[in-house]
Amino acid sequence: MAKPDVQICEVGPRDGLQNAQHLMPTAAKKAWISALAAAGLTEIEVGSFVPARLIPAMADTGEIVAHGRSIPGLTVVALAPNVKGFQRALEAGAHKVTFPVSASRAHSQSNVRMSPEEMIAQVKQCIALRETLPADRRPQIEGAVATAFGCTLQGSVPEDDVVQFATMLAEAGCDAVALADTVGYANPAQVKRVFRRVRESIGGKLEGAHFHNTRGLGLANALAAYEEGVRNFDSSMGGLGGCPFAPGASGNVITEDLVFMFEAMGITTGIDLEKLFKAREVLVHAIPEEPVYGHTPVAGLPKGFRQAA
């Protein structure tokens, strides 16, 4: 299999379910993740290692990581908000751990009860901790600059702050840095500008783009990021998602429509759209009362449509 042109990380089991109104049973999560992998997703953020009393939907993340590890070829990603979460991720065997570092100080306090600098200090500790492990047990570490395009608490977020925290994460030893529009404030011009500035500072360590569709601009922002050279995208099936600690945050960019956009453009994703729609059925069947979004699954593929691959 040739490497696809873009790498899409499905974050629905983490970003989506942590904000869903309905709890998805553990068995259903496993079935959904298996269906996603069967559709060609090779990277799935399966959960987060946060206290279960704060986010009950994430209480089974350890078991979900274990299930993900049983799927050949799947990179199992988990979110950790601190050293303790990282230790749990290590125990579970996550292949990649993402740390959210909010460029908005207000959101950082709300989300992880730390300043961005304190959060980056946690990331450094985790990177040091990783060095003590055998080489085959060291997960990839990603620093994700959250609220990188604005914040519902703070309002605008200075681009200098985004560049600064992204640079600190890269210098701390993160393998990759992502920029996240946690609350759906980004616009395409800003996306190009901020990604360009961060790339000028940290080069190839800048990898992922994480957009929300709160104001309908998810795909336009993804297109702008692609044009700016980004090749790694987070998205969520059915547009599930938001941030429980950022008021007004809603819906991630929708995996189904994102994959359709790229494939229609001739950009390969490695994902089979028909199988992706099957995985959507698994999701809808598991939490049927949860609202799901996405135009392409409803409209169907264009007549005579063939995927880029």
Residue ranges binding its own copies (CB under 8 A): 150-156, 183-185, 187-190, 213-217, 219-220, 222-224, 227, 248, 250, 254, 257, 260-261, 264-267, 294-296, 299-300, 302-304
Identify the burial level of 174 via C-beta atoms within 10 angstroms of its C-beta, where 0-12 means exposed, 13-18 middle and 19 or more buried: buried
Distance CA(295)–CA(254), nearest Å, equals 9
Q: How far is the CB of 225 from its own copies (least distance, A)?
A: 11
Q: How far is the CB of 257 from its own copies (least distance, A)?
A: 4
Looking at the Cβ atoms of 35 and 261, the one nearer to its own copies is: 261
Using the CB atoms, write b or e for 121-144: b if 16+ within 10 Å.
ebbbebbeebeeeeeeebbebbbb
Q: How far is the CB of 304 from its own copies (least distance, A)?
A: 4
Q: Are the C-beta atoms of residues 32 and 13 closer than 8 Å to each other?
A: yes
Looking at the Cβ atoms of 53 and 303, the one nearer to its own copies is: 303
Q: How far is the CB of 264 from its own copies (least distance, A)?
A: 4
Q: Are the C-beta atoms of residues 183 and 248 closer than 8 Å to each other?
A: yes
Give the residue carrying structure tokens 């983490």. Answer: 14
Q: Are the C-beta atoms of residues 205 and 220 closer than 8 Å to each other?
A: no
Looking at the Cβ atoms of 16 and 47, the one nearer to its own copies is: 16
Residue type, 168: M
H/E stretch holding 209 reads strand 206-210
Looking at the Cβ atoms of 54 and 189, the one nearer to its own copies is: 189
Q: Which residues are catalytic?
A: 243
